[in-house]
Amino acid sequence: MAEQKASTSIEAVESGLAAQGYIASRQIATAVYLSQQIEKPILVEGPAGVGKTELAKAIAAWRGKKMIRLQCYEGLDEAKALYEWKYAKQLLYTQILKDKLGEVLGGAQTLHAALDQLHDFGDVFFSKEFVEPRPLLQALEQPGGCVLLIDEIDKSDAEFESLLLEILSDFQVTIPELGTVSAITPPTVILTSNSERDLGDALKRRCLHLHIGFPEQRLEERIVESRVPGISQTLRRQMVGFIHEIRSLDLKKLPSVSETIDWARVLVLLQASELDTEIVKDTLNVLLKYEADIEAATPQVTTFIAKAARSNVFG
Amino acid sequence: MRENLHRFFRAARGAGVHVSPAESIDAMRAVAQVGLTDRTILRDALLLTLAKSQDEKLALGDCFDLFFSQPEPPQEQPQASKDDASQDADQPPSSGSASEAGGGQPTEGLGPLAQMLLSQDRNAIQAAIASASGAASLSDIRYSTQRGIFSSRILDAMGLQRLRDDLDELTANNPALAERLRAALDGLREAVRDTVSQGLALYAREEAENLRNEILRNAPLARIERRQVAEMRALIRQIARRLRERYSKPRKRQRRGHLDVRRTLRRNAAWGGVPFLTAWKRKHRDRPKIVALCDVSGSVAQVSDFFLLLIHSLHEVVDDVRSFAFSSHLIEVSEILEKKSPEEAMAEIMSTVGFGSSDYGSSLVDFERDFMSTLTPQTTVIVLGDARSNNLDPRADILRRISERSKRLVWLNPEGRLAWGFGDSEMPRYATFCSVVRQCATAQQLERAVSDIVAIYQ
pLDDT score at A122:
64
Q: Whole-angstrom Cα distance, residue B387 to residue B364?
A: 12
The per-residue pLDDT for range B349-367, each reduced to its tens digit, is 888 877 778 888 888 999 9
Asked whether residue B90 is assigned to any structural domain, the reply reads no
Range of the domain at B201: 108-205
Cβ-based contacts under 8 A for chains A and B = 85
Is the pLDDT at B183 greater than 70? The verdict is: yes
Beta bridge partners of A85: A131
Of A291-295, B30-34, B104-108, the poorest mean pLDDT is in: B104-108
Question: Are B56 and B119 in a shared domain?
Answer: no
Of A71-75, B136-140, B384-388, the poorest mean pLDDT is in: B136-140
Is the pLDDT at B74 greater than 70? The verdict is: no
Q: Whole-angstrom Cα distance, residue B232 to residue A303?
A: 40
Q: Give whole-number Cα distances, B378 to B249, B285, B381, B406, in Å.
A: 18, 10, 10, 6
Question: Are B327 and B446 in a shared domain?
Answer: yes
Cβ atoms of residues A195 and A55 within 8 Å: no
Question: Are B16 and B130 in a shared domain?
Answer: no
Looking at chain A, the whole-number percentage of residues with pLDDT higher than 70 is: 95
pLDDT score at B104:
42
In the DSSP assignment, the letter for residue A177 is: T
Our CA-based measurement puts residue A94 at a distance from the nearest CA of chain B, in whole angstroms, of 12
Asked whether residue B368 is assigned to any structural domain, the reply reads yes
The per-residue pLDDT for range A226-253, each reduced to its tens digit, is 888 888 888 888 889 899 988 888 888 8
Q: Counting Cβ atoms within 10 Å, is residue B320 exposed (0-12), middle (13-18) or buried (19+)?
A: middle
Q: Using the beta-carbon criterion (under 8 Å), do A31 and B252 form an inter-chain contact?
A: no
Is the pLDDT at B85 greater than 60? The verdict is: no
pLDDT score at B284:
60
Residue B49: list chain A partners with CB under 8 A: 34, 208-209
A83 vs B79 pLDDT, higher one: A83
Question: Are B112 and B65 in a shared domain?
Answer: no
Numbered residues of chain A with Cβ closer than 8 Å to any chain B Cβ: 2-4, 6-7, 10, 26-27, 30-31, 33-34, 37-38, 40, 45, 74-75, 87-88, 91, 157-158, 196-198, 201, 204-205, 208-211
B143: phi then psi, degrees, rounded to nearest 5 = -120, 155
Asked whether residue B225 is assigned to any structural domain, the reply reads no
Q: Whole-angstrom Cα distance, residue B407 to residue A236?
A: 60
Q: Using the beta-carbon criterion (under 8 Å), do A6 and B34 form an inter-chain contact?
A: yes
- B250-B254-B256 Cα angle (round to 5): 155
Angle in degrees, 0-180, between the axes of helices A2-19 and A26-37, rounded to the nearest 10: 110
Q: Give whole-number Cα distances, B44 to A30, A201, A208, A211, in Å.
A: 7, 21, 11, 11
pLDDT score at B155:
85
Asked whether residue B428 is assigned to any structural domain, the reply reads yes
Our CA-based measurement puts residue B37 at a distance from the nearest CA of chain A, in whole angstroms, of 7
Cβ atoms of residues B321 and B351 within 8 Å: no
The per-residue pLDDT for range A267-286, each reduced to its tens digit, is 999 888 888 888 888 888 88
**What average pLDDT does the segment B26-51 reach?**
87
pTM (2 decimals)?
A: 0.63
Mutation pick from B52, B245, B264, B278 vs chain A, by most beta carbons of A within 10 Å, is B52
**What average pLDDT does the segment B27-45 reach?**
86
Q: Which of B157, B188, B205 is the last residue of a domain?
A: B205
B391: phi then psi, degrees, rounded to nearest 5 = 60, 20
Q: Using the beta-carbon criterion (under 8 Å), do A10 and B45 form an inter-chain contact?
A: no
Q: Whole-angstrom Cα distance, residue A171 to residue A268?
A: 46
pLDDT score at B251:
54
Could you write out the DSSP letters of every residue in B114-128? HHHHHHT-HHHHHHH
Our CA-based measurement puts residue A208 at a distance from the nearest CA of chain B, in whole angstroms, of 5
Question: Are B51 and B155 in a shared domain?
Answer: no
Angle in degrees, 0-180, between the axes of helices A257-269 and A277-287, rounded to the nearest 10: 140
Of B44-58, B73-87, B171-185, B287-301, the poorest mean pLDDT is in: B73-87
Angle in degrees, 0-180, between the axes of helices A301-314 and A277-287, rounded to the nearest 10: 100
Q: Which of B146, B176, B205 is the last residue of a domain?
A: B205
Q: Using the beta-carbon criterion (under 8 Å), do B44 and A27 form an inter-chain contact?
A: yes
3-class SS letters over A86-136: CHHHHHHHHHHCHHHHHHHHHCCCCHHHHHHHHHHHHHHHCCHHHEEECHH
Report yes or no: B270 at the A interface, CB cutoff 8 Å: no
Looking at chain A, the whole-number percentage of residues with pLDDT higher than 90 is: 22
Question: Are B114 and B178 in a shared domain?
Answer: yes
Asked whether residue B321 is assigned to any structural domain, the reply reads yes
Can you say whether residue B317 is alpha, beta or left, with left for phi > 0 and alpha for psi between -120 and 50 degrees? Answer: alpha
B31 vs B70 pLDDT, higher one: B31
Q: Using the beta-carbon criterion (under 8 Å), do B18 and A38 form an inter-chain contact?
A: no
Question: Are B59 and B114 in a shared domain?
Answer: no
Residue B252: pLDDT band by 50, 70, 90 thresholds?
A: low
Instruction: Please name the helix (run of DSSP H) or strand (run of DSSP E) that holds residue B153, with its range, or none.
Output: helix B147-157
Mutation pick from B19, B41, B317 vs chain A, by most beta carbons of A within 10 Å, is B41
Closest CA to B389 of B434, B458, B316, B328: B328
Asked whether residue B243 is assigned to any structural domain, the reply reads no
Q: Whole-angstrom Cα distance, residue A150 to residue A184?
A: 19
How many Cα atoms occupy the beta-carbon half-sphere of B218 within 13 Å? 5
Residue A26: list chain B partners with CB under 8 A: 40-41, 44
Which residue in chain B is spatially nearest to A209 when comparing CA positions? B48
Is the pLDDT at B92 greater than 50? The verdict is: no
CATH code where residue B325 lies: 3.40.50.410
Would you tell me how many other CB atoms lie within 10 Å of the CB of residue B349?
A: 22
Cβ atoms of residues A192 and A53 within 8 Å: yes
Asked whether residue B424 is assigned to any structural domain, the reply reads yes
The per-residue pLDDT for range A93-148, each reduced to its tens digit, is 878 877 777 777 776 777 887 777 777 766 777 788 888 888 999 999 888 889 99
The per-residue pLDDT for range A30-88, each reduced to its tens digit, is 999 999 888 899 999 988 888 899 999 999 999 999 999 999 988 888 888 888 888 88
Question: Are B65 and B155 in a shared domain?
Answer: no
Q: Using the beta-carbon criterion (under 8 Å), do A30 and B41 form an inter-chain contact?
A: yes
pLDDT score at A59:
93
Question: Are B55 and B127 in a shared domain?
Answer: no
Residue B250: pLDDT band by 50, 70, 90 thresholds?
A: low
Beta bridge partners of B408: B380
Overall number of domains in chain B: 3
Residue A16: pLDDT band by 50, 70, 90 thresholds?
A: very high
Is the pLDDT at A4 greater than 80? The verdict is: no
The per-residue pLDDT for range B144-177, each reduced to its tens digit, is 788 888 888 888 888 888 888 888 888 888 888 8
Is the pLDDT at B217 greater than 60? The verdict is: yes
Asked whether residue B49 is assigned to any structural domain, the reply reads yes
**Which stretch, A146-160, B88-102, B255-269, B440-454, has highest mean pLDDT?**
A146-160
Our CA-based measurement puts residue A9 at a distance from the nearest CA of chain B, in whole angstroms, of 10
Question: Are B354 and B448 in a shared domain?
Answer: yes
Question: Are B127 and B49 in a shared domain?
Answer: no
**What average pLDDT does the segment B322-351 reach?**
84
Question: Are B63 and B155 in a shared domain?
Answer: no
Q: Which of B181, B205, B229 is the last residue of a domain?
A: B205
